[in-house]
């Protein structure tokens, strides 16, 4: 939350930040519901086999477990020509959940003057394509003994050189607002020491992704080879350099809305939409009841089906 430039509302009021927020929500859903699975789309027996072996080898070295998991997946998928039994059912299920999740923001932005949103059918199909391709990538990764680590930035942490800024205009606007506030405070209290500022993470859009694997035997070298597949991407804001200053300026979203109400001001639509979106995100992604409710809602969401991405066996072999 940027206390000096737009606070919570800017997340949806600003098109650049809104786009990055939605990307972050989608990628977080993919992380939790696709890439974190032992094998996305596996049938019940296949999934039980993977789970039991993973639990049995909980104290074993990581690459021993991943090698056994990869061997099991390759052997099992060989019988089904490389396609997990429930792959497309899981794709449809997750697509519906994310689609319903984003409808709040879709309807909110559709009311903007001069903005023509894509149709709901097209939105559903685009999400279906993204999730299905992510599913195939996940299956390919699970057929390899390499270990993939997905590491998210934490909102509020300081900017680092290895972070990729995805919305520079948002940071520039934040920096300008911070400088203007600093000048006003300096005029009001010239004797006060100026507080230092520094870029901080506002939205963690794409996590850092690193692949680890042991050196091959023919290399005659013991150790682990690491390769960074993706640098962390984030939207930044111009925050306060010292942690105690930043914590003092921070206001949580519920407290922010309550503050507006206490001032006899109706909370703006943006704040309410952000609240609903974040709560639903956490509810669906982290609770069983949320997932069950989305499954029940699937019955009344029936967009026109589009062509499915090609199920390429080559994408699984590497």
- pLDDT score recorded for residue 205: 93
| Site of tokens 């943006």 | 270
Q: How many CB atoms lie within 10 A of CB 114?
A: 4
What percentage of the chain carries pLDDT values higher than 90? Answer: 39
Task: Report the alpha-carbon distance of residue 230 to residue 274 in Å, rounded.
Answer: 28
* DSSP category for residue 166: S
Q: How many CB atoms lie within 10 A of CB 156?
A: 15
- pLDDT score recorded for residue 88: 96
- pLDDT score recorded for residue 61: 76
Q: Where are the alpha helices (DSSP H) in the chain?
A: 10-13, 15-30, 44-56, 62-78, 87-110, 120-142, 168-188, 243-249, 253-262, 269-286, 288-297, 314-317
pLDDT at 122 over 80: yes
Q: How many CB atoms lie within 10 A of CB 64?
A: 11
- pLDDT score recorded for residue 180: 82
Count CA within 13 A, CB hemisphere, residue 125.
12
- C-alpha dist (Å) from residue 180 to 4, 167, 173, 176, 250: 9, 21, 11, 6, 19
Task: Report the alpha-carbon distance of residue 97 to residue 95 in Å, rounded.
Answer: 5
**Two structure tokens written together for 276:** 């609903």
- pLDDT score recorded for residue 54: 86
Task: Report the alpha-carbon distance of residue 146 to residue 94 in Å, rounded.
Answer: 26
Are the C-beta atoms of residues 43 and 194 closer than 8 Å to each other? no
pLDDT band (50, 70, 90) for residue 183: confident
Are the C-beta atoms of residues 297 and 103 closer than 8 Å to each other? no
* Those residues with Cβ within 8 angstroms of residue 78's Cβ, 6 or more apart along the chain or in another chain: none
- pLDDT score recorded for residue 111: 74
Are the C-beta atoms of residues 201 and 154 closer than 8 Å to each other? yes
Q: Residue 233 — φ and ψ, nearest 5°?
A: -110, 140
- In the chain, what are the domain boundaries? 10-317
- pLDDT score recorded for residue 311: 46
- pLDDT score recorded for residue 301: 45
Are the C-beta atoms of residues 86 and 266 closer than 8 Å to each other? no
pLDDT at 289 over 50: no
Range with lowest mean pLDDT among 34-38, 265-269, 275-279, 297-301: 297-301
Are the C-beta atoms of residues 121 and 21 closer than 8 Å to each other? no
- pLDDT score recorded for residue 300: 45
Are the C-beta atoms of residues 41 and 86 closer than 8 Å to each other? yes
- C-alpha dist (Å) from residue 135 to 89, 100, 145: 11, 19, 18
pLDDT at 282 over 60: no
Range with lowest mean pLDDT among 148-162, 165-179, 249-263: 249-263
pLDDT at 316 over 80: no
pLDDT at 113 over 90: no
- pLDDT score recorded for residue 58: 79
Range with lowest mean pLDDT among 10-24, 204-218, 289-303: 289-303
**Two structure tokens written together for 96:** 């519906």
**Higher per-residue pLDDT: 296 or 83:** 83
pLDDT at 304 over 70: no
- pLDDT score recorded for residue 132: 96
- pLDDT score recorded for residue 35: 94
* 217-263 residue pLDDT tens: 887 888 889 999 999 999 998 888 777 777 777 766 667 667 666 66
* 13-52 residue pLDDT tens: 788 888 898 899 899 999 999 999 999 999 999 999 999 9
pTM of the model: 0.78
Task: Report the alpha-carbon distance of residue 313 to residue 282 in Å, rounded.
Answer: 34
């Amino acid at each position: 939350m940027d206390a000096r430039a737009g606070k919570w509302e800017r997340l949806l009021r600003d098109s650049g930040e809104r786009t990055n927020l939605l990307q972050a929500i989608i990628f977080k859903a993919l992380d939790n519901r696709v890439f974190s699975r032992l094998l996305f789309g596996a049938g019940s027996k296949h999934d039980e086999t993977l789970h039991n072996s993973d639990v049995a080898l909980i104290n074993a070295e990581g690459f021993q477990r991943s090698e056994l998991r990869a061997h099991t997946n390759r052997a099992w998928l060989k019988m089904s020509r490389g396609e997990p039994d429930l792959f497309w059912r899981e794709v449809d299920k997750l697509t519906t959940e994310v689609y319903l999740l984003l409808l709040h923001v879709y309807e909110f932005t559709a009311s903007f003057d001069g903005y023509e949103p894509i149709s709901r059918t097209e939105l559903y199909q685009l999400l279906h394509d993204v999730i299905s391709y992510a599913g195939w990538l996940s299956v390919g990764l699970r057929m390899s003994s390499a270990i993939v680590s997905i590491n998210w930035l934490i909102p509020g942490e300081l900017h680092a050189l290895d972070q990729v800024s995805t919305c520079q205009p948002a940071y520039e606007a934040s920096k300008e607002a911070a400088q203007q506030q600093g000048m006003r405070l300096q005029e009001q209290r010239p004797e006060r020491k100026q507080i230092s500022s520094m870029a901080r993470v506002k939205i963690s859009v794409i996590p850092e992704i690193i692949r680890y694997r042991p050196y091959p035997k023919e290399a005659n070298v013991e150790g682990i080879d690491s390769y960074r597949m993706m640098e962390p991407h984030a939207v930044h804001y111009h925050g306060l350099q010292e942690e105690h200053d930043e914590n003092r300026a921070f206001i949580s979203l519920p407290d922010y809305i309550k503050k507006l109400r206490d001032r006899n001001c109706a909370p703006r639509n943006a704040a309410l939409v952000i609240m609903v979106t974040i709560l639903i995100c956490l509810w669906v992604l982290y609770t069983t009841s949320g997932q069950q409710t989305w499954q029940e809602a699937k019955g009344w969401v029936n967009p026109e089906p589009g062509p499915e991405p090609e199920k390429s066996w080559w994408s699984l072999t590497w």
